[in-house]
Chains A and B, each alone.
Chain A
């Protein structure tokens, strides 16, 4: 490996891991001085077509509190058939099945290229996948129709043995029984009444009159499956359910003028969670909630039914004027936790023009690994295609989704784990490798990911605990093992083990080495996740200040400068982009709530803390491509100076895809030049960004909002709000007749930001 760049790339490809530092400072003190913690972005289920799973169980270290998995870093004595655990140094004999191993006949898990390996576990019953649709019927006719079609279509995408269920709600909540012939049967719940799980199960007739001696025995899943009339295999109820969906009507209760329809989302979810809890505890299940508006009654109500009282805004929240916020959030959090305990994930598909209460409900998806999709209407391709993509399959024909994941982190003794940030909940398992210092969801070395896919990425934060006066022996390596157990979409249980190691370095003598091992992209995303995590509980300005302070300290530590001389400030190549990332992060909707509704903020943050590094970076700093006659399409600076009349710009912010036609191009297009044969090349120019956009649209989940606009168009604001405002109405005339487009803003530009940063970094007082 020649450069760190390649090393990082190779590691990411193989293990799905990106560390902020790829050389670790060898003492706690030095580590804290590095500002950015030793941390990594880890994609547990990174798609590895070249990695065939092995069909046996992992070999575990026999020490009770270690149980690390045999891996390439272990010392193996082939003659004695003994291996030493590289985490606790326990010497373990190989199991009898490994009798035949030798230096030339090594099992896969000992080969260095299998630092990530996947085991298929045969034991345990394989439970079918469960999909429970929870459908809002307070929709416009057109929306409901579109949704019904999407749902009907989805039935054909499900594996035939998957169990499906249907709950619809409006003023009442209806749980549909799917087995019955003839009369369609459903159980109805009042939408205003908070019911306990036990009550719900009783009312649904799920509690069987067990014989006195039998009590306390959990019912085996298969048995429960047979008894549960509400969740049935797709192949059996396909027709029934299609008809049922077809006959689904809008909520019949009259909505008087000036009122919102009464929508009992809270109770519907409670029933869904209660149903699954009773019938299928600890099996993979997906609750898919489709809503077209905010919950307006019962527990979990976000806004009353009076239209004259608008749904809460950031302004209301800051003024503590959001009446239902706390209560609703608490309600949904409790539900989310219950659901997470049982390994059921909750998706939210919210399609409405106004807010739907995602702020309150976000925890449902955030804690359980569910998706959140936000759109304007169910009758848009954004929703339809996104929904379809939920059921997309990989090259093996398996769903790109996994259930009931449990990720465990084991560390060598110099390192402890502080926490994780991602779509997970803590399992409160306090091992020896757990740090007291919490970052993100901490205090544990196991997390539950109720649902995860190939791109689900966690930020995992560590702490070097080695004391300064106890140096690590030369050439020693710190090791971390990620053990992820999950239920594959083919219902088999699997365990993926990733073991990685990094060298230790003495921060005093080898600071340059450490500096060059810095992965600024990973670091930016990891710091951003910390920032977003803080923003959930803290005031926005506090978070920004914290980020700024971290940035300044980092620059002070690694920048080269003469004291009090801003012009002398230099950053090495491995850090050069970092300040720019921070600049854009500060302006991003993840930290700025201005111009965003609370729902939008929740939505953006939801996706930010689960996507992989590449996507996260796009979210922080959108990509801008420029198309012109002057040459092939090229990426350009995300800067107002890139907005030129004779260019077409394509901006990808992850959530939006904006195609922007410069002033001249827009005029030409309006004049219809592209229709004329002699301007064939113009037609091609117009087509190029569309094709590129299509490519992005094809692969991304959720589907981004596609915006086609031009100079002066109202939708151009999406572009203008993202670019660095290097030219504004304040400095335009001072700069003379420069090219580019001025942005009407008082925000500081990157240049100003950098100048300021330099000044602060070189200042001795801070």
Chain B
């Protein structure tokens, strides 16, 4: 086993920033807006680094797809303990339409190329909330998947994953190589402290183009329009059940 873990990190608009829809309704304003690493990706990086510290794996490789600024996100992952980074350069129109399908194709290609034994991702990104990339990557690679992980442990040539599901917790044992996606309670990510950021500047980030990996980035989706959520209308207070029924009839709901 190569002992290599691939971790995907995504650069997203910071969760505390108020989102504004662009005047032309084609998307949201991103220019100059504060961005940071997707919180679930931070958890994924932390888990990978923890596995390395426990000597269960040998190398952590951080991957991000996007324009030049994605390198900052990779640097943060390197500062948290990843060994090297891969920046898959995607810009312009391709970046606007970049979605889980394209990213999972890229990750699948990289996982094969790097001979990774584990791919750890965040369960979803906070900008699109898709929750698809991990699952698609596993399917493209034909690898088993342990998603919504709240606990991960390596047991020989298998990985035991405790998954958070609607009914409670489900424990699965899956063969390596596998894809794991991190949920909130998996761990508490460490800070990327300044000495580590300085050291991270010396770590390598390789530059790769999607074409080099043989990946076709054309999207199957077309965004027609982006709108702000409708303003919440004021409610009405009624005194009795009859009033309620009357109002519902009036507004055509029943």
Q: Do A and B come from one complex?
A: no
Binding site for A on B (CB under 8 A): none
Interface residues of A (CB under 8 A from B): none
